[in-house]
Amino acid sequence: MAASFSASRKESLPSPTSSCSSKDSKGEKVGGTGKRQTTLTELFLSHSPSTSYKPKRPKGETNEEVSSTISSTIYVSSEEDVSDCSHVSESPPPSPSLPSPVKQAQTWGCTPLNEICFGPSATPILPPLRGSASHCVTFKTDGCVPRLTPPTPTPPTYRDVWDDSHVRMPTSSQCLYPVPGSKLVKKWVLITQALSKPIRNSFELEEAILTYNSRFRGKWKFQLLHAYFARHQTKEETDRFFSTVLPPLKKLVLNLPQIMTHAVPLLSKGVSYSLTMSQEQVACLLANALFCTYPRRNSNASDSEFASFPSINFNSLLCSRPIKKQLHKLQCILHYFKRVLSSMPSGAVTFSRQVLKEAPNWDQSTKPFTSLHVSSTGTIEDQGHGMLQVDFANKYIGGGVLDYGCVQEEIRFLICPELLLSRLFTEELSPNESLLVIGAEQFSTYRGYSNSFEWGGDYKDQTHLDDWGRKQVRVVAIDALIFNRKWQWRQYERTRLSRELTKAYSGFSGETGMTPCGRMMGVATGNWGCGAFGGDPELKALLQWMACSIADRDMVYFTFDKGGELLSKLVDIHQLIMSRRLVVSNLWELLNEYYTEVVEEREKMTLFQFLTGKLSSKPSTK
C-alpha cells in the first residue's frame, strides 16, 4: 500500500491548478532555483533534517501509561543538533522535455516570495503609546521617535512594591537577607557594598556575587566565568574588560532604583497583558540578572514561589562546565553589555502574553489556505524581517539558554539578549498561550548549532523603528508538545492535533489591528516541535499552515534541509491541496483519517504518502 504511493508519487499527481502551477517558460510558480526568482535577501532582511516518520503503535500500551510523557518539561531544547544550512546550486533546471543526467537542486517552491504579504504595509497602524489596564508602560511617552537619549522612567521616583503580582526586586526595603550573627539586613545594602569595591578579576567578581548570595557559598562553582577569562580571552582582553567594561556595568546594576522606578508586573497565566520598557531599563534589569541579584529565584523546589517561572539569575550559566558552546554563550552576553555601555540604545521593547479565549472549530472551518512559500535556504532570523518570526519555544520561555541548551530558541535569545528579560516575569505558557516580543535588537552573529555554536561577531541592527520606538521585529514564542520516541504515534491523535493547532493559532492571531494593505504580515517559521521534541516535520508544516490560514496570514517555511527533501514534498502537497481547493476543515478531516486508517492500523506510510493517495483520486471541492 505505502510502496505504491511512494514509487509512483510524482507520476500520479494530477495537473495542478494552484498558485504552484506552471505558467510560462520562466516557471514563475513552480519554484526552483535562485536565478528564476528574486532572492530572499533581496526581498527582505529573515535544523532539523527532514525525515519521514513511520508511525508504529507499540503493543499493549494504555493511555495511562503515556499520559505523563506528552507534556512539555523544563529546558528541553526544541530541536536536535543538526548539520549547518548551506546554500545549494541556484542554476536553473534543464527543460523538462529534454533528458538530463544531473538534476539541479530546488531551493524554493510554491508561491513566489514577492506575492507573500510582509513588511511595513502589513504592520499594524499604531495608536499613541500610553498605559492602560492591560498595558504597562514604564517610561514617559513624549511621542518623539527616534529619540536621541533613553526616555525618562516613570514614575519619577522609585516605587517599592513587594507582592505576588510583581517581580520581587532586590531594591525593595522588604527584601531581607540573613548574615552571620542571625540578623537580617536589606539585600540591596549588601549588593551596594559588594559592588562598590574594586573588582579586578573573575575571582573577585565571584566573591562579590557570593557576598549577597552567601547561602550558596561552596555550592556555586564559577567554572565557566573563570575559564572564560583564563582561556577564552587574551590577557589584554581580560584586562580591558575589568578596567573599562566592568566599572560602568556595576554602575548600571546599582542604578536600578533610578532606572526602573516602576514595579515590574508578572505576566501570569490566563491574563493577556503587555509590558513596554525602554532598552535602557531592559539593560539595567539584565545586568542585575548577570550579577544574580534577584531574590527568591535560586530555588528549584517544586513548591517555591517562582517554581512556574524560568530561572533568571545567571549563576547556572556562570557555574556551568567550560565547554565550547557555553564559553560562546557568555561571549554573546558580555558583548551585548559592551555595546549598550558604549552607546545606550534609546528605543523600547514590548513583551505581550497572548491568551486565546476560544479556539476555532477546526472541523467546521471553511477558510481557504493562504499563500505558502517554502525555502530550503535561509533562516527565520535572517530572512524573516518584516514577518512574524516563530520562536520554537519551551513552555518555560528561553528553554535551556542559561543551562546547556543551544538550539533555535536559545540561539535567538543569545544574539538578541533583550529576549532574555522575558524570563524575569513570564510564567510558563499554557496550551492556549503564547508570548509576543516586539523590538528586540540583534547584537551578535553566530556560527554553528548546538555543540558547535560560536559567537560570530558584532552585528549592527539597521531595522527601522516603529512609532513607539521599537525595532520592527516581531518574535512569537509557541511551545510544541514533546513526544518521546516510543510515543511519537500519539502526535496524530485528535486531541494532540487540536492542541498544536490551538497553540500555533494563539501565536499567529494575537496581534490585530488595521494595516496599510488590509492584511496581517506573514509568518516566518520552520520545523517547529521537531528534532528533540519528536514531532513529524510533515505534520507540523501542515498544522502551522492551517493555523496561518485561520489567522489570515501567509506562511514562509524554512525547511533547513540541505538536500531539499522536505521542500520537494511540501511543493507536491501544496499543489494537491490548492488544486483540489481544500479548506482547513477538509485537511483536518484527512489528518484524522490518517490516524484511524494508518496509525491505529500500524501501516508503514508517511503522512504525505497518505495524503497523496487520498488527494490524487479526490475530485476538487466546489
Residue set of the binding site: 394, 408, 449
409 is catalytic: yes
How many angstroms from the chain centroid is the CA of residue 43? 22
What is d(CA 570, CA 347) in angstroms, rounded to the nearest whole number? 40
The cell for 497 is 492535533
Residue of 121, 118, 116, 119 lying closest to 37 (CA atoms): 116
Query: Do residues 437 and 419 lie in contact, with contact meaning Cβ atoms separated by under 8 Å?
Result: yes
Contacts of 244 (CB under 8 A, 6+ apart): none
> What type of residue is 449?
Y
> Where does 327-448 show beta strands of DSSP type E?
348-355, 372-375, 388-393, 433-438, 444-447
Helix (H, G, I), strand (E, B) or coil at 127: coil
How buried is 11 (Cβ within 10 angstroms: 0-12 exposed, 13-18 middle, 19+ buried)?
exposed
Per annotation, catalytic residue among 90, 206, 403, 410: 410
Torsion of CA 138, 142, 148, 152, to 10 degrees: -40
What is d(CA 62, CA 586) in angstroms, rounded to the nearest whole number? 30
**How would you classify residue 560: left for phi > 0, otherwise alpha for psi between -120 and 50, otherwise beta?**
left
79 is catalytic: no
The cell for 246 is 566592568
Residue of 482, 459, 472 lying closest to 124 (CA atoms): 472
Per annotation, catalytic residue among 409, 441, 500, 536: 409
Strands 372-375 and 108-110: antiparallel
The cell for 383 is 530572512
The cell for 211 is 557576598
What is d(CA 15, CA 581) in angstroms, rounded to the nearest whole number? 13
DSSP letter at 224 equals H
Q: At what angle do helices 537-550 and 494-508 cross, to 10 degrees?
A: 50
Query: Do residues 520 and 384 lie in contact, with contact meaning Cβ atoms separated by under 8 Å?
Result: no
Per annotation, catalytic residue among 391, 418, 538, 561: 391
303 is catalytic: no
Query: Do residues 446 and 381 lie in contact, with contact meaning Cβ atoms separated by under 8 Å?
Result: no
How many angstroms from the chain centroid is the CA of residue 226? 30
The cell for 35 is 536565478
What is d(CA 65, CA 461) in angstroms, rounded to the nearest whole number? 49
What is d(CA 268, CA 167) in angstroms, rounded to the nearest whole number? 11
Number of H helices, E strands in the chain: 20, 14
Distances (CA, A) of 436 to 110, 116, 219: 28, 21, 36
What is d(CA 420, CA 13) in angstroms, rounded to the nearest whole number? 47
Helix (H) or strand (E) holding 273: strand 273-278
What is d(CA 161, CA 262) in angstroms, rounded to the nearest whole number? 9
Going by the annotation, the residues of the binding site for substrate are 394, 408, 449
The residue whose grid cell reads 508538545 is: 481
What is d(CA 399, CA 411) in angstroms, rounded to the nearest whole number? 10
Active site residues: 391, 409-410
